[in-house]
Amino acid sequence: MFGPRQVGELIVGNAVATETTVDTFVATATDKEIKLLSRDGTAPTLGKPFYFLQKAAGAIGGFEFSDQIDPKYIDKITLATYTPEVAKAVKIDGFATGGVAAAQRTYEVEIRLEDQLSPENFELIQGYYVTGEVLGSDTATTIRNGVLDSLNKNLARRGNNEFIATADGTGILITERIQDNDPGKNDGRKLLFQVTGKVFSNVPNGYNSNLGLLTSTLVAAGSPGQGTSKWATNYEWFVKGYKYDRDRLVSYPADFWSRTPFYTADGAFYNVIQIIYYAPRKETIVERQYKVLTILVQKAANTLAANANTNLVLADIRTAVGTNAVVPANLPVV
């Protein structure tokens, strides 16, 4: 059974060209402009197979292009608007609750950091504070500060690139650091972690379990976001590994700095359009081949007005697709 080839393609642009034929697009379009054209190189027409062109100064010939897409073979069209990545934050509190600060106790804040490949592998990052036989001058604040100082020292030993631990009211706020990515080397994925506060009695009593006096509250739920520059640069690296090698042998991973041009950028904002379509089964030994064309429309700023170019792309898709598939609604611009 033969497998599919070129299942993922990528078009990146920051504006929509006004040219309506392939010849004029190649001759006069501005770098980084994109345009949907019919298979015969003319303006988009209802029901006609189409493809996307991307003006690209760094590409051979000065442009990139997608596979042809027949509207009747489109399975689904999706749209994701840019949303930023959000750092997860957890607060440990309860130090100032009556009876929590006491002699002969160990106070602990523990970050359980899961391995990226398996939750069965994890590391514990901890901060401690121990009170003496008498409480003396220790208070809820000195205990909290002692735990925080211990935790920050352990985070510093690990490079201070994973979490930020700060005093917050009477508690401790643990916030993940957004991880940078390096395409092909480090995907910068989000940290998977839980934070727990514990209190143990140091008086021998036959057991040594957590007294459950500290609370853990999720302050901000982490999110990878949508259309972020991290996602875009990682995705381009992956897809371009397939772009120039039809059998996926010698061009993967992509060499961005030499042979393969790249168009996504750090710090950019993207709206993401994906057209999921397929090549029909033409022979008994070849299955229907599903493919996806991803169109990254770069926004000049993270504002509603910057959605205008995305709406122009959607309008061209509607013209070509008609009722063959549901095209997402336009994005708000005001």
Model pLDDT for residues 162-209, shown as the tens digit of each residue:
999 999 999 999 999 999 998 878 889 999 999 999 999 998 876 678
Residue 83, Cβ neighbours under 10 Å: how many?
14
CATH code for the domain of 194: 2.60.40
Task: Please check whether residues 65 and 140 belong to one and the same domain.
Answer: no
Q: Which of 220, 242, 267 is the last residue of a domain?
A: 220
Sheet with 89-93, side-by-side order of all strands: 163-168, 171-176, 89-93, 215-220
Q: Which of 187, 220, 253 is the last residue of a domain?
A: 220
Distances from the Cα of 190 to the Cα of 85, 125, 180, 228, 264, angstroms: 9, 17, 10, 13, 20
Residue 144 falls within a domain, yes or no?
yes
Distances from the Cα of 45 to the Cα of 10, 42, 251, 317, 321, angstroms: 22, 8, 35, 10, 8
Task: Please check whether residues 215 and 265 belong to one and the same domain.
Answer: no
Residue 274 falls within a domain, yes or no?
yes
Q: Comparing 41-45, 139-143, 253-257, 319-323, which segment has the lowest mean pLDDT?
A: 253-257
Task: Please check whether residues 162 and 58 belong to one and the same domain.
Answer: no
Task: Please check whether residues 307 and 237 belong to one and the same domain.
Answer: yes
Task: Please check whether residues 204 and 240 belong to one and the same domain.
Answer: no
Extract the tokens encoding 92.
Answer: 């440990």
Extract the tokens encoding 109.
Answer: 């804040």
Phi, psi (deg, nearest 5) at residue 193: -155, 160
Model pLDDT for residues 142-164, shown as the tens digit of each residue: 999 999 999 999 999 999 999 99
Residue 117: which domain range?
89-220
58 — pLDDT class (breaks 50, 70, 90): confident
Model pLDDT for residues 284-317, shown as the tens digit of each residue: 777 788 899 999 999 999 999 999 999 999 999 9
Task: Please check whether residues 129 and 171 belong to one and the same domain.
Answer: yes
Kindly report the pTM of this predicted structure: 0.86
pLDDT > 70? residue 3: no
pLDDT: which is higher, 139 or 247: 139
Task: Please check whether residues 237 and 215 belong to one and the same domain.
Answer: no
Task: Please check whether residues 104 and 17 belong to one and the same domain.
Answer: no
Residue 206 falls within a domain, yes or no?
yes
What's residue 4's pLDDT? 44
Residue 330 falls within a domain, yes or no?
no
Q: Which of 200, 220, 240 is the last residue of a domain?
A: 220
